[in-house]
Structure 1
Amino acid sequence: MISSLLQVDTEDVWTWTPDPVEGYTVRVAYRTIIDRTPPTNIVPAALLWRKDVPVKVSVFPWRLFRHRLPSKTNLFRRGIIPSEAQLCISGCGQQESETHLFLSCTLFGHIWQLIRNWLGVYSADPGNIVDHFHQFGTSSGYGKLRCSLKHLIWFATVWEIWKERNDRIFRGQERSHYQMLEAIKLLSFWWFKVKFTVFPYCFHDWC
């Protein structure tokens, strides 16, 4: 950000490139640092590509974070479905964007409250999916194992929400909130046992 230029018969000068007119100021330096901070909507690859979950499950949140799922609003933007077909399958009357489906839908979004009750964690949900992922992983502490476990449960939850959405659209099949909760518990239990083969607890203890 500071440059020098050496020329014959010319006085040597230093130039503060972010503001070559007024020169260096703390305000401009601070703004420059903030502007160069990596965006917060990026999830590190190490948190996505896990050996304890199927590859298709790791690909799923990768697509979700980048708005590449075939949600109804995305299908409408691509000209695949008409405007009137964008409504959420839950019957809530809202358009099915990814944020709506996974966080704010009165049907699917309620799953997070059940998950928090199960884990004994109490917090408000952010309105952004990436922020929700980060907060969910650290909502009860920043220990590495604890965060990894919470993120694993987060993966299982969004996966089951998407499966339920597809079953309702394409198969006409529905599960209750508590049936979905039990499916999330079972799925995360088996994934966790993949990571820790000497896991000392049975499924009943896990629940």
Structure 2
Amino acid sequence: MGNGASISFWKECWITDEPLCKKLPGLYPLESNKNAKVMDRLRVTPEEKITKTQWERNPETDEEKFQLEELMSMLMMTDIQGGDDTCAWNLESAGGFTVKSLGRRMEQASNPGPGMGFEWNNWVPLKVNFLAWRIYMGRVATMDGLRRRNVHLDSYLCKICGEVDETDDHLFVGCQFVLAVWDSIVEWTRCPRLFAITVKDVITIHNQIRGTRKWRKLIQSIVMVALWGIRRSRNDRVFNDKERSLDEVKHEIRQLSFLWFKYRVKRLSVTWDHWCNMELSCMSL
């Protein structure tokens, strides 16, 4: 995206992996111009970001207001580079179309495996893959999951922040403690900041990052290890009454991801210093 003059605000995938009309189904019917372009709804100046909305009526229900807050949050975290919008092929690091990359993606789509599209990663242990797969399928135990199974507890609040009910999306995406973990990973890997609403957005986020296949696989492995670390931190609070600091969780993610990468991808030589500074020439960044 350049200035957003040719990209549909509601009907194209420009801010998440699906159009906003599907991501925000309660808000879309209120839009007065459903063919509006990104430029019509979001302008960026050197001083500020300007949002412009045109509703048939103002959002009134709880669902509409909640989705409006989600929309505003996404827009505030989005950068518009300026210049003309251009086309790029995300399956190749150079941005150009190749038949080989298309064939590879079609093969993946025709053989989705037991996770209905979930991608396994042999750079991390099987137990980490299984946890990520269970999270992807919505089968990991949370307080909200227990409530849906009619397990009666005194509280269903998140065991990390204690402020919101513990759902899959809150535990792995929405909790303030977890957001700080993801912020540290973005800073460490120097990946562009991508907005995620659901935990599935996080698990598949490597597909939205430009770079070589090895680089995207590396980011996927780090995300899986982060999910593992977040889950361990949560379980320590629940079962061991042990509160782990943000620095402890960040260090564990960096250390475990390095050890598993080093001993599972032996053909690529990486030192701890290179890993900490994300100076990985072997990834052909």
TM-score, reference length from structure 1: 0.72
Aligned residue in 2 for 1:132: 202
Query: How many residues get paired?
Result: 165
Task: Report the Cα distance in structure 1 between the residues aligned to 2:242 and 2:208, rounded to whole angstroms.
Answer: 33
Within 5 A, what are the aligned runs for 1:5-154? 44-45=117-118, 47-48=119-120, 50-82=121-153, 84-135=154-205, 137-154=206-223
Q: Which amino acid aligns with 1:94?
A: V
Task: Report the Cα distance in structure 1 between the residues aligned to 2:185 and 2:136, rounded to whole angstroms.
Answer: 21
Within 5 A, what are the aligned runs for 1:145-184? 145-184=214-253
- 126-135 or 69-78: which moved more? 126-135
Task: Report the Cα distance in structure 2 between the residues aligned to 1:93 and 1:60, rounded to whole angstroms.
Answer: 25
Match of 1:190 among 256, 259, 262: 259
Which secondary structure state, in structure 2, belongs to the residue aligned with residue 69 of structure 1?
coil
Which secondary structure state, in structure 1, belongs to the residue aligned with residue 223 of structure 2?
helix
Task: Report the Cα distance in structure 2 between the residues aligned to 1:58 and 1:139, rounded to whole angstroms.
Answer: 20
Q: Which amino acid aligns with 2:181?
A: I
Task: Report the Cα distance in structure 2 between the residues aligned to 1:81 and 1:204, rounded to whole angstroms.
Answer: 48
Contact 1:86 1:96 in 2 (8 A): yes
Contact 2:172 2:227 in 1 (8 A): yes
Q: Which amino acid aligns with 1:106?
A: Q
Identity of aligned residues (%): 26
Q: Which deviations, in whole Å up to 9, do the C-alpha atoms of 1:112-139 show, x marking residues without a partner?
A: 001101111231321022222222x145
Q: CA deviation at 1:43?
A: 5.6
- 143-152 or 193-202: which moved more? 193-202
Q: Which deviations, in whole Å up to 9, do the C-alpha atoms of 1:175-198 show, x marking residues without a partner?
A: 211211111111111121133214
Largest Rg, 1 or 2: 1
Task: Report the Cα distance in structure 2 between the residues aligned to 1:88 and 1:141, rounded to whole angstroms.
Answer: 34
Distance 1:105 1:188, change over 3 A: same
- 187-196 or 155-164: which moved more? 187-196
Larger % of helix: which?
A: 1
Which secondary structure state, in structure 2, belongs to the residue aligned with residue 197 of structure 1?
coil
Distance 1:176 1:43, change over 3 A: farther
Q: CA deviation at 1:142?
A: 4.0
Q: Which deviations, in whole Å up to 9, do the C-alpha atoms of 1:97-120 show, x marking residues without a partner?
A: 010000010112220001101111
Q: Which deviations, in whole Å up to 9, do the C-alpha atoms of 1:3-40 show, x marking residues without a partner?
A: xxxxxxxxxxxxxxxxxxxxxxxxxxxxxxxxxx99xx
Q: Which amino acid aligns with 2:261?
A: F
Contact 1:121 1:139 in 2 (8 A): no
Task: List gaps (5 residues or longer) in structure 1.
Answer: 1-36
Which secondary structure state, in structure 2, belongs to the residue aligned with residue 163 of structure 1?
helix
Contact 2:203 2:224 in 1 (8 A): no
TM-score, reference length from structure 2: 0.54
Contact 2:161 2:175 in 1 (8 A): no
- Superposed CA RMSD in Å reads 2.2
Contact 2:157 2:163 in 1 (8 A): yes
Which secondary structure state, in structure 1, belongs to the residue aligned with residue 161 of structure 2?
coil
